[in-house]
């Protein structure tokens, strides 16, 4: 479909955000479902009768500092698609697109508070969008890093500008340090005591491996790294708080655990919806990538790696491990979901070479069907990530058969 810049429906004028892959039907459904809440909830429109939507304002005001030039250009062009505000405070590779999750939640067409579950929550995109939409969010991730990152971002959603001031005061105490004085997380104050200190913990975690990840500041000292990172975090959060306060959000609650998605942690029939994205086979080897961070968090990366779905052995073994893992995840999901509820799985198909592909979607589909789900819909969305391995990601919508 050729997307119109501006769209008139029921005598109201709508301007679309720069997204591809949505249809006229999606546009009309979002208008009909969201009604009066459209300005704060829309995932598709930048303006409605001349008024700017929350998601557009947040993306447009998200400032960019301390990034490499190439990345700044990419981020400026794509910030609406890849992340804004709280979503951006840690660059988690493999993060779902916030607009897509918002769009999927909107497509349910109900404002009732529901329980949304993401068993492989990573950096918490599903959880953040769920509580912003007024729902309760429940997440697990095999990695303590996923749990900590999601929890800090979720707590920060409810903070304010004073938290940023306090956060910067803590940072300034360490600005002259040449090296990180904290050997591991036990040396720091407890997580969850306050938003400013949690943001400080996340900044320290981000500084681990920072020189390795950034070419621009490759010789920077600990104190300098804290300054770079905290400046970015403060900007993202300031922009989020300013934008948030102009709208009426009714936040839901959340719980995030370090737990295996193949095992059951929540009560039977307690969840209304699952939105999750399994690992992209071995395109991102999470425990290897986060090796130093996991050590800092007192975790054993090798132990975690052995439990990450689809990372063990040869490609053949990885595919088998992915399939076996997804069978267990599907069993878990079918156990906690209420009958007749939906599960949305965002899957990336993996290309080994130009003409060789691993269709993870087939494996996911078989695993879900074995656990009592029927596949209702499959949609393809372009990936606009930085340094992407895959071109498209596939969104599969299942229903749990009663």
Ligand X SMILES: C[S@@+](CC[C@H](N)C(=O)[O-])C[C@H]1O[C@@H](n2cnc3c(N)ncnc32)[C@H](O)[C@@H]1O
Q: Which of left, alpha, beta for 314 (phi over 0: left; psi -120 to 50: alpha)?
A: beta
CA pair distance 336, 243, nearest whole angstrom: 35
- Pick from 123, 130, 225, 361: which binds ligand X (CB under 6 A)? 123
* Segment contacting ligand X by CB under 6 A, of 105-113, 230-238, 304-312, 386-394: 304-312
Residue closer to ligand X, measured from CB, 180 or 233: 233
Q: Taking CB under 6 A as the rule, does residue 308 contact ligand X?
A: yes
Select from 6, 296, 18, 260 the least CA-distant residue to 143. 260
Q: In what order do the strands lie in the sheet with 6-9?
A: 6-9, 12-16, 45-48, 51-52
Q: Give yes or no for a contact between 348 and 361, defined as CB atoms under 8 angstroms apart.
A: no
Residue closer to ligand X, measured from CB, 148 or 229: 148
The contact mask relative to ligand X for 221-260 (x = CB under 6 A, - = no) is ---------------------------------------x
# chain residues binding ligand X, by CB under 6 A: 23
In DSSP terms, 357 is beta-bridged to 351
Q: Taking CB under 6 A as the rule, does residue 141 contact ligand X?
A: yes
Question: Minimum distance between the CB of residue 43 and ligand X, rounded to whole angstroms?
Answer: 15
Q: Taking CB under 6 A as the rule, does residue 307 contact ligand X?
A: yes
Distance of CA 195 to the CA centre of its chain: 19
| Helix intervals (H) in 38-83 | 38-41, 54-61, 69-82
Q: Taking CB under 6 A as the rule, does residue 261 contact ligand X?
A: yes
- Pick from 54, 74, 222, 286: which binds ligand X (CB under 6 A)? 286
- Pick from 143, 235, 332, 396: which binds ligand X (CB under 6 A)? 143
Question: Minimum distance between the CB of residue 307 and ligand X, rounded to whole angstroms?
Answer: 5
Q: Give yes or no for a contact between 50 and 23, defined as CB atoms under 8 angstroms apart.
A: no
CA pair distance 36, 48, nearest whole angstrom: 11
Question: Minimum distance between the CB of residue 322 and ligand X, rounded to whole angstroms?
Answer: 10
Residue closer to ligand X, measured from CB, 244 or 262: 262
Residue closer to ligand X, measured from CB, 39 or 116: 116
3-class secondary-structure state, position 7: strand
3-class secondary-structure state, position 351: strand
The C-alpha torsion from 8 through 12 and 17 to 19, rounded to 10°, is: -50
* Segment contacting ligand X by CB under 6 A, of 11-19, 55-63, 70-78, 121-129: 121-129
Q: Give yes or no for a contact between 79 and 236, defined as CB atoms under 8 angstroms apart.
A: no
Residue closer to ligand X, measured from CB, 197 or 240: 240
Contacting residues toward ligand X, per CB under 6 A: 92, 94-96, 120, 122-123, 125, 140-143, 146, 260-262, 277-279, 286, 307-309
């Amino acid at each position: 479909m050729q997307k119109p810049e501006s769209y008139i429906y029921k005598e109201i004028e709508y301007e679309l955000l720069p997204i591809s892959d949505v249809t006229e039907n999606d546009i009309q459904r979002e208008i009909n479902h969201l009604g009066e809440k459209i300005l704060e909830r829309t995932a598709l429109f930048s303006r409605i009768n001349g008024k700017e939507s929350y998601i557009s304002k947040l993306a447009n005001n998200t400032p960019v500092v301390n990034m490499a030039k190439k990345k700044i250009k990419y981020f400026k062009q794509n910030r609406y698609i890849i992340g804004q505000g709280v979503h951006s405070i840690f660059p988690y590779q493999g993060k779902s697109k916030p607009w897509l999750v918002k769009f999927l939640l909107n497509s349910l067409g109900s404002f009732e508070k529901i329980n949304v579950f993401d068993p492989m929550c990573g950096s918490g995109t599903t959880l953040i969008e769920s509580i912003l939409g007024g729902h309760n969010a429940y997440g697990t991730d095999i990695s303590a890093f996923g749990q900590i990152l999601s929890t800090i971002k979720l707590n920060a959603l409810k903070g304010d500008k004073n938290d940023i001031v306090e956060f910067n005061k803590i940072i300034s105490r360490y600005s002259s340090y040449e090296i990180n004085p904290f050997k591991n997380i036990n040396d720091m104050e407890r997580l969850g005591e306050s938003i400013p200190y949690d943001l400080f913990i996340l900044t320290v975690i981000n500084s681990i491996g920072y020189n390795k990840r950034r070419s621009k500041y490759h010789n920077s000292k600990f104190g300098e790294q804290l300054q770079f990172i905290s400046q970015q975090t403060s900007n993202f959060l300031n922009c989020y708080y300013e934008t948030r306060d102009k709208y009426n959000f009714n936040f839901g609650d959340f719980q995030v655990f370090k737990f295996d998605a193949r095992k059951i942690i929540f009560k039977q029939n307690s969840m209304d919806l699952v939105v999750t994205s399994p690992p992209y086979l071995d395109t991102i080897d999470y425990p290897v990538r986060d090796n130093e961070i996991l050590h800092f968090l007192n975790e054993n990366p090798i132990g975690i790696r052995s439990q990450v779905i689809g990372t063990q052995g040869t490609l053949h073994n990885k595919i088998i491990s992915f399939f076996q893992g997804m069978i267990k995840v599907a069993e878990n999901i079918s156990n906690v979901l209420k009958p007749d509820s939906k599960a949305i799985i965002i899957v990336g198909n993996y290309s080994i070479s130009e003409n060789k592909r691993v269709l993870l979607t087939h494996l996911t589909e078989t695993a879900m069907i074995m656990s009592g789900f029927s596949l209702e819909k499959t949609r393809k969305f372009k990936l606009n990530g930085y340094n992407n391995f895959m071109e498209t990601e596939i969104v599969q919508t299942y229903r749990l058969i009663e």
